[in-house]
Amino acid sequence: MASVHIKAEKIGKRYTLRHSDAGARYTALRDVLATKLRNLLHRPLRQLQASSEEEFWALQDISFEVNQGQVLGIIGRNGAGKSTLAKILSRITEPTSGRVTLHGRVASLLEVGTGFHPELTGRENIYLNGAILGMSRSEIRAKFDEIVSFAEVEPFLDTQVKHYSSGMAVRLAFAVAAHLQPEILIVDEVLAVGDAAFQKKCLGKMESVSKEGRTVLFISHSMSLITRICDRAIALEKGKIANDGTAHEVARTYLAASGTGSSSSWRPSAPVGDSAAKVHSARLHSPDGNCASTFSIGCPIYCTVEYELLAGGQRAMPALQLVNESGTVVFGSAAFQLRETTRIGCHSATCTIPAHLLAEGHHSLNIAVVSYNPNTLHAFEREVLSMLLVDDTSGDGARGDATGHWPGIVRPKLDWAVAC
C-alpha cells in the first residue's frame, strides 16, 4: 500500500484587505501643507482619508491526501487559491488554520527564479538549492552534469542568474528541482514561460519522476496537460475544493462549468464572408434534428451549415475543422462532392461525424466556406460551435465491460481478426 506523502487537514488562509477612500476625493496641495503644519504643532489630526479593513479567505477548509508516486493536478480560475495552496505546501507561507504534513523533501517551482539568488551564478545556485534540500556536496556533484545538460544553459553556467532571461531561469530552476531527488515536486504554471520543446521535456521528466515513486503536484490552466500527466485532479473554486477525482472527470466538469463547453447553434448578427459567399448559421443536432451539445461517442453527430453564394463561377463549398480542448485540429472536412459550379443563392449542407470516431471530452468546430481552382477562403469563423462527448458505451459491444478513460485524440471502432 502506497504511503501518504502529503496530508492537508482543514487548511485555511486568511488575508486582511485594507480599503482607502483616498481615490474618492481630490487632495489639494493646501490640504497636504495643512496636515504637515498640524503635525509640527502636535495638534490632533483630523483623519482626511477614511479606511476600512476586510477579511479575505483565500483558502477555506481544504483537506486531501496525496499518496507516494501520485501526480495530482490542481486546477481552477484565477483567484481560486491555487498559488496560495502551493505556497503553503512549499512552506513559503503558513496557513491561518489547519495543518499540512509532508513526508520527504520538497522542491518547488512556483515562479521564475524561485529559490535562486540573483547575485550568484547558475553553478553556485545549483549547489545552494541542493544544500537547501539537505543534499551533500557529493550528491549534488553526482547530479550536476545531468542538471546542466537538461537545462541547456552550459555556456552561461558561470554567469550571474540576474542576467538570465526568464526562459533560461525557468529551465535551470526546473532542472534543479526535478533532478535533486526530492520526494515531493511542486510545479506551478511557470512552465508556460518556456518554449514548446522545453515544456515537452519537463512533462516527460515529471512523468518519469512519478514512476520513480516520487510525488508530483502540478498546477496548470491547461486541461490537456492536466489530463496527460495527472492521474488525479482537484478543482478549486473561491478557496474551496469544488471537485476531487480522476483528472479526466474533474477537467471535463470544470470545462463544462466554466462556460467553454456547449454551444449547439450559431447565428451571427449579420452573415460573415466576402462578396462571393457568406455563412448565415450553423448548428449541431442529433439524428432527429433536435439541437444538442452533448453526445455519446457511440452516436453520430450532425452539423448543418446554412450559407449563401453571391457570385457565379465559383466552385464554393462549406467546410469545417474539429478542434480538441488543447487547440489541436483533429481533422478538417469539406463538401468535395460539389464538383460543379454552384448556383447563386442560399444553400444548406449537413456533415455527419460518424459514431465511434471521436474520444470523449470537449471539442469545438471552425466553420468555413471555400473555393478551389483557384483556392479562396470566403468565410472562416473559429469555434462557433462546441460540444461535450461522453463515453457511455460500456457494455454495448464497443468496449465490452471496459470502463475508464481511453487515451487518444480519436476513438475509432476498428475490426479485429482474432485467431485463438
Average pLDDT over residues 25-37: 65
Whether 24 shows a pLDDT value over 60: the answer reads no
Give the DSSP H or E segment for 229: helix 223-229
Q: What is the fold, at CATH topology level, of the domain defined by 62-257? A: Rossmann fold (3.40.50)
**pLDDT band (50, 70, 90) for residue 45:** very low
Name the band, by pLDDT with cuts 50, 70 and 90, for residue 46: very low
Q: What digits encode the pLDDT tens for the residues 156-170?
A: 999 998 898 877 888
Q: How far apart are CA 363 and CA 375, in angstroms?
A: 27
**Residue boundaries of the structural domains of the chain:** 62-257, 266-390
Mean pLDDT lowest among 223-232, 363-372, 377-386? 223-232
* pLDDT at residue 308 tops 60: yes
Question: Is the pLDDT reported for residue 217 higher than 60?
Answer: yes
- Work out the pLDDT band at 259, boundaries 50, 70, 90: low
SS3 12: strand
Distance spanning both ends of the chain, measured CA to CA: 37
Mean pLDDT of 248-273: 78
- Report DSSP state, residue 81: S
Fold of 266-390: Coagulation Factor XIII; Chain A, domain 1 (2.70.50)
Q: What is the DSSP string of 118-180?
A: TTSBHHHHHHHHHHHTT--HHHHHHHHHHHHHHHT-GGGTTSBGGGS-HHHHHHHHHHHHHHS
Burial of residue 200, with CB atoms counted within 10 A of its CB: 0-12 exposed, 13-18 middle, 19 or more buried: exposed
Give the 3-state secondary structure percentages of the chain, helix then strand then coil, rounded to 5: 25, 35, 40
Q: Are 52 and 19 in contact (CB under 8 A)?
A: yes
pTM of the model: 0.63
Tell me the pLDDT band of 173, cut-offs 50, 70 and 90. Answer: confident
Q: What is the pLDDT of residue 340?
A: 66
Strand, coil or helix: what is 225?
helix
Give residue 332's pLDDT: 94
- pLDDT value at residue 134: 73
Please give the helix or strand (H or E) that residue 344 lies within, else none.
Answer: none
The answer, yes or no, to whether residue 302 has pLDDT greater than 90, is yes
Confidence band, pLDDT 50/70/90 cuts, at residue 392: low
- Proportion of the chain above pLDDT 70, given as a percent: 82
Q: What pLDDT, on the 0 to 100 scale, is given for residue 365? A: 93
How far apart are alpha carbons 363 and 390 in whole angstroms? 11
**Closest alpha carbon to 78 in 193, 189, 186:** 189
Report how far Cα 122 is from the mean position of its chain's Cα atoms. Answer: 30
Kindly report, residue by residue over 119-130, the tens digit of the pLDDT: 999 899 888 888
| Ramachandran assignment for 313, one of left (phi > 0), alpha (psi -120 to 50 degrees), beta (any other) | left
* pLDDT (tens digit per residue) in 223-241: 767 877 888 999 999 999 9
Rounded Cα distance, 81 and 149, in Å: 35
Helices H, strands E: what count in the chain?
8, 19
Question: CB neighbours (10 Å) of residue 420?
Answer: 2
314 Cβ contact partners less than 8 Å away, ≥ 6 residues apart: 276, 277, 341, 342, 371, 376
Q: Report the share of the chain in percent with pLDDT over 90.
A: 29
